[in-house]
Structure 1
C-alpha cells in the first residue's frame, strides 16, 4: 500500500521528475525558444526579456524602452519500457500484467516575459515560466503498478526582477521567485501483503490511491554580466533552492476482485481495510481493528528543489557570427531523502503500523555543458544551433525510480530568428534529446512503512523531441 505514498512522494517530491522531463533531474529544461535553439548555451546573449530566467542582469542589455516575449514548447517524449518483472511482497510469485509498453504524452509549456526601462540605469522585468512539468501514465495492469501507475506535475514560477547598470561594463540583476506546484498521483497497493487475513489474496486485493497536492514556495535569483570588450561578454547566474511543503488529499478505492466484489465477504473486507486503526470492526469471525486505508485523508511531503550556478559567455567572432557557451552546476544532492506523511496510521506489509513512506534516491550534484552559435544569414534572418551534455543525478539502477528513467543525455538543437522592422521578432527551434538507455531495479519494501511492493525491474529506451515557437514585440 505504500506505493501510493511512495509515489506521491516521488511525484510531489521529485516535483515530478517524471518521464516527460527533458532535462536531467526534474527540470523542464527550456524556458526560452531563443535559448533552446542553442541548446541553452546563449545565456550571455540577453537577446530578449526571457533573460529574466537565464540571467536577470541581462535586462540592461535590451534595446528600446520595453518589450514582451511569449513562447511555447511542445514536448514529444517517447518512453519505451520492456522486460518488466515484479514479484508480490515476500513472495517469489510473479506479478501478473503487462510487461512492456510505450508512454507518449505530449506536453505543452507556455512562458511569458516583459521588460521596461525606467532609465538608463534601471530596468524592471516580470516573467512567468514553467520550471518543472510532466505527465506519465502506465497501463493499469502494468507489472510495475505497485511502484506507480500515473503521475503528473504542473509547476508555474512568477518572477519579478530588477537590473542595474552599475558601469558601462558591469550589470547586476536580482529576482524574487514565487513557485506554485500542483501534483497528482495514482498508485496501486497490494492489501494482501499484510498477511493478516487469508481472504486477502495477493493480486486480487489491490487498492488504488489517488493523491493530489499543491503548495507555494519562494526563492531568489541573482545575476551579473561583464562586457569585457566589444566582442566578449561573460556572466554568472545563481538560482536559490525553493522549499515546498506539498499538502493534499489521498483517496483510496478498493479495485481488486476480492475486496470490490458483490459478495458480503468483499464488503466486509473493504470495511475492515478502510476503517481507521483506532476503530474496532465487528465481523462474524470476531472483532478486529481497521487497517487505516480510509476513503479520504490528508497527505503531505516536504521537498527542496535545488539551487544552481551557471557561468556563461558570448564571443562576437565576426559581424555575422556569435559563439556561446554555458556551464551549469546543480545541487541535485538535496534530493537524498523524502518522507510522505499520511493523516492516518496504517497496518502495512509485514503486519506493522506506519503513517509515512520514506524514499532515499541518493542523487548526486550534476553539471551541464552547452556550446552553440548564431549566423546572421541576412539582415532579418539569423540561423542558430547548439549541442549540450546534460548529466543525470542518478548514479545506479537501484537509485532510479520507474517514474523517471532518467539518464545522461545529449541535446541537439537548431533554430532561426527573424526580425521584422526591428519591432517584431519571430523565433523557432527544434531539439532532439538523446537519452541513454537505462535500467530500473527496486528491492522489496522493508515492511516498515506504507509500501507493499516486491522486487521489480525494467529496461527503458527514452528520447524526446521539442518544438518551440516565440514572438517578441519591442516598443
Structure 2
C-alpha cells in the first residue's frame, strides 16, 4: 500500500511539472534526459551512455557499468509563440480581437531512470518521464479565440524494461508503458452579441493507457554500434467535461491516439577520443486525424496530422579524463503540412536544432551532464476556418513566429 501511494505521489508530482512545451514535432517531448540535449539527441537509440537508455533503447542497459545505474534529469524549456494578423475577417457582431500576446511559456520537464545488471547477460530497468506535453495560452481577446486560445496536454509514462544479450554482437530489449494523459482545451463561443469576446468553453478529460516498446543493439564492428527501436501507439479514451461558462456543463468523451515511433541510430568511435552519432526517426502522427468530442456541443476538432521524419547528427569529444564535449544538429519535420490545418493552440512548423553540451566526471561512480539547444522554427502561416457546427463562420489569417531555448542538467550515479 505504501509503495502504491508513493508511486501515485510521484506520478502526480511529475504531471504537475510536465505541462510543458513540446520540443519534438507535434506535441511529443524529445527531452527524455539531459545529456541528449547537448547533441540534439543524435543517435539516441545507439548512445547508451547512462540509465536513460531505458527509454531510448532498453537493450543499451547491457552496455552500462555493473551494478545499479541511476540517472535524474531536468530540462528548462523557454518557448515563444507570437501571432501576427494578416487579414482575419471580423466575426460580426463580435470584436475582432488582439494578436494574443506570447502564447509560449517557461516549463520544466523532469525524468528519472534506474537500471540494474542481474548478470552479464541480463538487465532490468525502470523509467519515469513525460513523453508528450504541450501548453499554449494566448490572451482571452486573441483574434483566434473562436478556434482556440488555450491548450494543455500532460502525459506521464512509467516504463519497466528488460534486456537480454543474445551473443557478443546482439542484445535485445523490451519494455511496457503505463501512461496517464490529461488534456484541456479552451475556446470562445460566439453565443451573444452583448459579450464581444464571446463565452468561454472549456473541454477537459483524462485516461490511462498501456503500450510497449522494443529495442535491438548490434555491435557491428568494434568501433560501430547500431541501435533500432520501436514504441507502440497508445490509445486513450478520454472522459471529462465540457463547460460553457454560465450556461451548461456536459459529460464528454473523446479518443486520442498518441503516435508510434521507429528510430534507427548509429554510434561510431573514430578513435579513443572522438565519436560520431546519427539517427533517422519516423513518427506516425497520422494517428491524429481529428479528435471527436462526444456528448458536448463540439463534435470534432480537426488536425489532419501527417507522418513525420527526423534526422540528427552529433559529435562527442573526450577532452580528458574529466571532460567530454558534445555538439549536434537535427532537423525535425512537423506533422502540420498546410496553413488551413495549422491550429491556434498547436501552431507547429518544421524545426532545426543547434546544440552544445558537456559531461563532467566527478569520480569513478558519478558524473554531471549539461546541455543547451536553440530551436529555429520555420515561419507558420495559418488560414484556419472556424466552424459553428458544420457551418464555416470565420477564417483566421496570419502567421506564427516560434522559437525555443532548452537548458538541461543531469546527474548519473553507479553503485
Which TM-score applies when normalising by structure 2? 0.91
User: Partner of 1:175: helix, strand, or coil?
Assistant: strand
Deviating more after overlay: 381-390 vs 178-187: 178-187
Q: Deviations over 1:90-124 (max 9, x none)?
A: x5x67432135223410101000000111111100
Structure 2 residue ranges without an equivalent (≥5): 1-18
What is the correspondence of 1:6-85 to structure 2 with a 5 Å cutoff?
A: 20-43=21-44, 44-83=46-85, 85=87
Instruction: Give the conservation status (yes or no) of the 8 Å contact 1:88–1:202.
Output: no
Residue 244 (structure 2) aligned to one of 245, 249, 252:
252
Q: Which one has a bigger Cα radius of gyration?
A: 1
Residue 278 of structure 2 corresponds to which residue in structure 1? 325
1:304 has 2:271 as partner: no
* Alpha-carbon distance in structure 1 between the residues aligned to 2:252 and 2:302: 19
Q: CA deviation at 1:212?
A: 2.3
Provide the rounded CA distance (Å) in 1 between the counterparts of 2:87 and 2:345. 15
Partner in structure 1 of residue 401 of structure 2: 461
Secondary structure of 1:244's counterpart equals strand
Summarize the Cα distance change of 1:242–1:416 in structure 2 as closer, same or farther, 3 Å threshold: same
- The SS at the match of 1:323 is strand
Q: Which moved more, 1:207-216 or 1:300-309?
A: 207-216
- Equivalent-residue separation in structure 2 for 1:19 and 1:472 (angstroms): 24
- Distance in 2 (CA, whole Å) between partners of 1:20 and 1:53 is 20
* Residue equivalent to 1:146: 146
Which residue pairs with 1:212 in the alignment? Answer: 204
Structure 2 equivalent of residue 414 of structure 1: 356
| TM-aligned CA deviation for residue 205 of structure 1 | 8.0
Question: 1:174 maps to which residue?
Answer: 174
Match among 205, 217, 237 for residue 229 of structure 2: 237
Aligned to 2:10: none
Residue segments in structure 1 that go unaligned for 5+ positions in a row = 1-17, 193-200, 255-273, 275-293, 344-354
Once superposed, what is the RMSD of the aligned Cα atoms? Answer: 1.9
Counterpart of 1:265 in structure 2 is none
Cα distance in 1 for partners of 2:386, 2:315 equals: 49
| Equivalence for 1:474 | 414
Which shifted more, 389-398 or 76-85?
Answer: 76-85
SS in structure 1 at match of 2:339: coil
| 8 Å contact kept, 1:82–1:101 | no
TM-score (norm 1): 0.80
Distance 1:85 1:147, change over 3 A: farther
Which consecutive aligned stretches of 4+ in structure 1 deviate over 6 angstroms post-superposition? none
CA deviation map 1:100-151 (0-9, x unaligned): 5223410101000000111111100000011112222111111111111222
1:264-303 alignment to 2 at 5 Å?
274=247, 294=248, 296-303=249-256
